[in-house]
Amino acid sequence: MHQLINFWPIARVISVLLLIIGMMMWTGIPFSAYYGESVLPLLYAGLTTITAAGILWLTTQRRPSDDTLPRPADVNIRKREGYLIVALSWTAMVSFGMLPYLYSGMLPDVVDALFETVSGMTTTGASVLTDIEIQPRGLLYWRSLTQWIGGMGIIVLTVAIFPLLGIGGIELFAAEAPGPTSDKLHPRISETAKRLWFIYVGLTVAEGIVLFVAGMSPFEAINHALTTMATGGFSTRNASAAAFPPLIQYILIVFMFLAGVNYTVLYLSLKRRWSEVWQSDELKAYIGLVVVVSLFFTGRIWYITGVPLEQSFRDSMFQVVSLVTTTGYVSADYTSWTPSLTMICFVLLFLGACAGSTAGGIKIIRNLVFFKNSFLEFKRIIHPQAIIPLRLNGQIVPGRIITHIFNFLLLYLILFVIGSVVLSMLGLDFQTSVGAMATSLGNVGPGIGGVGPVDNFAWLSDPVKLFLSFVMIVGRLEIFTVLVLFTPYFWRLN
């Protein structure tokens, strides 16, 4: 019997995932105990999650024999399973990930708990908490950890899963990414994933230590290290990064910037293969963008608002890096500077840092391909007979990849437009609609208007929160992965 989707491997993956999530919850228990808070919410939430994982494992333990339920050999059907694994994994992670908030009563409303969990796991960092500092430390740690888990997950997704699914058209630029044949998958995924996790864990530990040495409490150092490397942006302070002294802010700038670099490039840097590092046009564009925009901001803030030069520079650099990397920490209210800087910050919500990092948004490489191609297009108009290829990292980019990227860019922008209209129909004003949509789709965190850097998402209605939760997942999974599930093509055998 030829069937559309084989649920057995999906169930296995989700079972393992839930086991990991449950055990992760328990790592927060020491914090609760140390700070004299109730350990029960995290204990029970972990228990529930691990129990669910066990039940799922046991009910699917007997692998279906090959003649009753054959493993699909058809690659199209395998792809379907890939999408469903991603979608159902997210559903499971979010459903169980919000249990600590619910059990503790920190966010008794299920919509709020869902929003905060999705915002965490997608590494968005938009929050419905109006006062963060009064919350139990153990739960704040879990909140930060959701981002770290999400960041780790997204590295695996972009480096290993998305290329298999043929999404986004950037697979060819990740030198270490596995090829399109699934036979090669297993050894290379585990090899690649090991390196990435090593870098991810290593940078997190390094940042935690540096922040602690620079004067942060161990608890805050751990939390901020977790949410920086995930480009998540949850803070333990109401004022976010503005609550910390300049030294800490500079440290955060450095690590936010590193978190936005392609992990392949980070790996090459670690191996001191500098000539290969500097071949990355995306890295150069990323550095150039951050430096140029930061200096422009510095000049304008210093000149117009009269803020001292060092602070102008620090605030500029911090906010530009925070927005471009889609981290979303806030060291200054960027909507209070000047109308033009607000506008530029709004544009930054879309850019995204390097592909193959934990950053959200469009990603520098896609923007770069678009801009390079636009310039070449003018050349092509003048010389219609000539073949004028687009080069990146010294290599010609195939037309197929360019088309994929254009598809993505347009779909991203049109989703932004549709989402903004939906939000305005749900009652938000113009600026809040576009701000909330841009920041959710780009997994940034703060927006403009009513969801600006010094506001939060608590005041929004339930429909808005649910819609934005969906948008955050759509953005995080590079749009196609989620939306394809809602097309008839997905559910048809042919």
Q: Which 333-352 residues touch a copy of itself, going by CB under 8 A?
A: 339-340, 342-344, 346-347
> Beta strands of 209-299 (E only): which ranges?
none
Structural tokens at position 121: 């796991």
Query: What does the H/E/C string look like for 252-269?
Result: HHHHHHHHCCCHHHHHHH
Q: Does 124 count as an annotated binding residue?
A: yes
Return the number of other C-beta atoms located less than 10 Å from residue 414's C-beta: 10
**Would you count residue 406 as binding a copy of itself (CB under 8 A)?**
yes
Strand, helix or coil for residue 389: coil
What are φ and ψ of residue 299, in 5° steps?
A: -60, -45
In this chain, which of 377, 391, 398, 461 binds a copy of itself, going by CB under 8 A? Answer: 377
And the tokens for 209? 């230590």
Q: Is 275 in the site for a copy of itself (CB under 8 A)?
A: no
Q: Are 126 and 114 in contact (CB under 8 A)?
A: no
Closest C-alpha among 139, 259, 280 to residue 201: 259
Which of 3, 61, 217, 403 lies at the binding interface for a copy of itself (CB under 8 A)? Answer: 403
> What's the first-to-final CA gap in the chain, in angstroms?
15
Report 13-72 residues binding a copy of itself (CB under 8 A).
none
Among 379, 389, 395, 396, binds a copy of itself (CB under 8 A): 379
Q: Rounded distance, CA 142 to CA 148, Å?
A: 10
DSSP 102-164: HHHTSS-SHHHHHHHHHHHHTT------S-STTS-HHHHHHHHHHHHHHHHHHHHIIIIIHHH
Is 123 marked as binding a ligand? yes
Q: Residue 445: name its binding partner from K ion, a copy of itself, none (Cβ under 5 to 8 Å by kind).
A: K ion
Stretch that binds a copy of itself, among 12-20, 153-161, 255-263, 400-408 (CB under 8 A): 400-408
The answer to whether residue 292 forms part of the interface with a copy of itself (CB under 8 A) is: no
| Cα–Cα dist 404/168, whole Å | 6
| Smallest distance from K ion to CB 166, Å | 26
Residue with tokens 């390079």: 372
Interface with K ion by CB under 5 A: which residues? Answer: 125, 233, 326, 328, 445
Minimum separation from the CB atom of position 331 to a copy of itself (A): 22
Asked whether 46 and 23 are in contact (CB, 8 A), the reply is yes
Ranges within 150-169 binding a copy of itself (CB under 8 A): 165-167
Closer by beta carbon to a copy of itself, 130 or else 182? 182
Out of 411, 454, 458, 466, point to the residue binding a copy of itself (CB under 8 A): 411
Task: Quote the least distance from Cβ 432 to a copy of itself, whole Å.
Answer: 9
326 annotated among ligand-binding-site residues: yes
Among 95, 193, 424, 454, binds a copy of itself (CB under 8 A): 424
Q: How far is CA 332 from the centre of its chain?
A: 22
Judged by beta carbon distances under 5 to 8 A according to partner kind, the member of K ion, a copy of itself, none in contact with residue 233 is K ion
CB of 165 to a copy of itself, least distance (A): 7
Please tell me whether residue 375 binds a copy of itself under the rule CB under 8 A.
yes
Helix or strand or coil: residue 392?
strand
| Closer residue to K ion in complex, CB, 362/401 | 362
5 binds a copy of itself per the rule CB under 8 A: no
Distance CA 50, CA 345 (A): 42
Contacts of a copy of itself in 78-97 (CB under 8 A):
79-80
Q: How far is CA 263 from CA 149, 193, 321, 408, 442, in A?
A: 16, 11, 17, 22, 19
134 touches which of a copy of itself, K ion, none (CB within 5 to 8 A by kind)?
Answer: none
Q: From a copy of itself, K ion, none, which one binds at residue 339 (CB under 5 to 8 Å depending on kind)? A: a copy of itself
Give the 3-state secondary structure of residue 391.
Answer: strand
Of all helices (H) and strands (E), which one includes residue 396?
A: strand 395-396
Which residues line the annotated binding site for K(+)? 123-124, 232, 326-327, 443-444
By the criterion CB under 8 A, which residues form the site for a copy of itself?
Answer: 75-76, 79-80, 165-167, 339-340, 342-344, 346-347, 370, 373-375, 377-379, 381-385, 399, 402-403, 406-407, 409-411, 413-414, 417, 420-421, 424-425, 427-431, 433, 448, 480, 483-484, 487, 489-490
